[in-house]
Amino acid sequence: MFPGGIADKLGNIYEAKWLVRQFLDVVAGQAEWGRFEGIVPEYKGFEFAVRRGQHTEWHQTKINSASGNWTIGALDKEGVLKAFKARLSSSDVDRCVFVSQDPAKSLSTLAGKAATANTLDELTAALSQDQVEDFKRLVKAWSVDESTSYGWLRRSEVRVLPEKEINDTITTYCNLYFTGNGASTFPILRQYLEARFNKTLTTELVRAELPAETSVRLKDWSLLPTLRQRLQEETNHYLDTYEPFGFKASKLPRQEADELVRLILADDGPIVVLLTGIAGSGKSGVVRTLLKALARENHLHLAFRVDHHLAPTNPHQLGQELLERAESPVVTLKGLSPSQPTAAEVDIVLKLDEPEKSFSPLVRQALLGSPGWFDQLNWKGWLKRQLDFDHPDRRQSLFWWLSSVAAQRPGPVAELLEEWWKADLGRSDALLDWLSRTRQIGASPALAQFCEALT
């Protein structure tokens, strides 16, 4: 039997109901995952943990206090404060939650005032004499200084909830998320959780397992796809747009694919990788190999065809169209996995097999809107080739987008344009017109000198 006893936990109806109530947040995608009664030391003193955004919530439940109120001394005696200390000291962002039918007046008051106070001095000034004494007892129980205790209080929470209120909330949410009678769903969810003791249950996992392994049926219309699901769906859509390749769909090993995977997964790899080649040379196969490698390594990623998303003109619009979030997909990926490198900035594969074919304003902004992209494209000679094409509209667009990096790369921009100009009077007017609309000329000796040469 593990410390704390799984049998003991499952026999407590109050704790079970609070666990199911929080589990419903995982089902709804309001929490990323939940884990019931982990056997690792971190779970000592807690029934379960729930991940919400950037922090993990650690939950401890006690149905009733013998005196009707959980004093600082009673919480210390029951080991609640010791458990809080262990978790709060190990993280700067995690939170601890104490739940009971009876109040914990002192801890609740101290935590509430600490959350409002901007400093320790503000907290102590807001405390009554009795509350000052409670704070001293808490500091002594935690065996830390007052400043540390103040910081921990800001991440501590007390919730006083009668069992009936928890039960009514569960029924309400079950009616919203599942078909059938919500009142009869609790025992099914409880049994599901009991069978997954010490397992990390993510939103994606439970949405797949509940209908497959229980009698519960999700109301799909009420549960929007999670961001991870949207990432996977969009990437799958990207892969579906290409026909199987190779003889009878066999895969042809490519050295470029292995090299691309190595570059992107390397800790010190480049931020930008350009994959180029003529139509039919196997670029799609290389990208397909990369995506499988990223999935195998559990690296979050997003693949999409730019030519299927030509309307967006900025990253926020692209995020709305791809993931239904008005933010850059890079921000979304990083938010989903803040501690893990993501492939958000590396996978733009341009297939400009037809030089005269236009490409979206978003791609122009992505490629030319940052000095890093400019450096890569300029080094590869791509920018010069675009200028050399007899395509006035494309050249005008390129001039416009070069304006966005002229301040950061005045020398290389001036050198690029001067090489294209080559004292050709027919090109002077276009360059003078561009320079007249570029604000960075006066601050850049290189651009100013180029302007003088033109005139």
Helical pair 410-421 and 392-402, crossing angle rounded to 10 deg? 160
What does the pLDDT read at residue 405? 74
For 300-318, what is the mean pLDDT?
A: 77
Classify 341 as helix, strand or coil. coil
CB-neighbour burial class of residue 280 (10 A; exposed 0-12, middle 13-18, buried 19+): exposed
> Per DSSP, which regions of 77-177 are E strands?
95-100, 156-160
For 43-50, what is the mean pLDDT?
A: 92
Q: Biggest alpha carbon distance in the chain?
A: 94
**Residue given tokens 């919730």 in the structure block:** 159
What does the pLDDT read at residue 352? 42
Question: What torsion do the CA atoms of 60, 66, 67, 72 make, to the nearest 10 degrees?
Answer: -40
Whether the CB-CB separation of 301 and 347 falls below 8 Å is answered with: yes
Q: Which alpha helices (DSSP H) does 369-406 contain, by range?
A: 371-379, 382-388, 392-402
Indicate the residue type of 30.
Answer: Q
Residue 291 clears pLDDT 80, i.e. is over it: yes
For 113-141, what is the mean pLDDT?
A: 96
Classify 340 as helix, strand or coil. coil
**Domain range summary for the chain, segments of one domain joined by +:** 6-221, 225-366, 369-455
Q: How far apart are CA 247 and CA 241, in angstroms?
A: 18
Indicate the residue type of 386.
Answer: Q
Closest CA to 58 of 74, 35, 29, 26: 35
CB-neighbour burial class of residue 82 (10 A; exposed 0-12, middle 13-18, buried 19+): middle
Whether the CB-CB separation of 319 and 327 falls below 8 Å is answered with: yes
Tens digits of residue pLDDT in 8-26: 444 589 999 999 999 999 9
Tens digits of residue pLDDT in 401-410: 777 677 778 8
Q: Which alpha helices (DSSP H) does 248-379 contain, by range?
A: 255-265, 283-296, 315-323, 329-336, 361-368, 371-379
**Phi/psi of residue 156, each to 5°?**
-115, 145
Q: How far apart are CA 408 and CA 261, in angstroms?
A: 31
Helical pair 283-296 and 227-240, crossing angle rounded to 10 deg? 150
Structure tokens at 5: 């006893």
What does the pLDDT read at residue 334? 65
What does the pLDDT read at residue 384? 81
Whether the CB-CB separation of 192 and 213 falls below 8 Å is answered with: yes
Helical pair 80-88 and 129-142, crossing angle rounded to 10 deg? 70
Whether the CB-CB separation of 221 and 290 falls below 8 Å is answered with: no
pLDDT > 90: percent of the chain:
38
Angle at CA 185, nearest 5°, toward 183 and 186? 90
CB-neighbour burial class of residue 352 (10 A; exposed 0-12, middle 13-18, buried 19+): middle
Q: What is the band of 82 on the pLDDT scale with cuts at 50, 70, 90?
A: very high
> Any idea what DSSP says for residue 17?
H
Measured between its terminal Cα atoms, the distance across the chain in Å is: 87
Tens digits of residue pLDDT in 184-233: 999 999 999 999 988 999 999 999 999 999 999 988 655 666 777 788 88
**Backbone CA torsion sign across 436, 442, 447, 449:** positive
Q: How far apart are CA 104 and CA 50, in angstroms?
A: 22
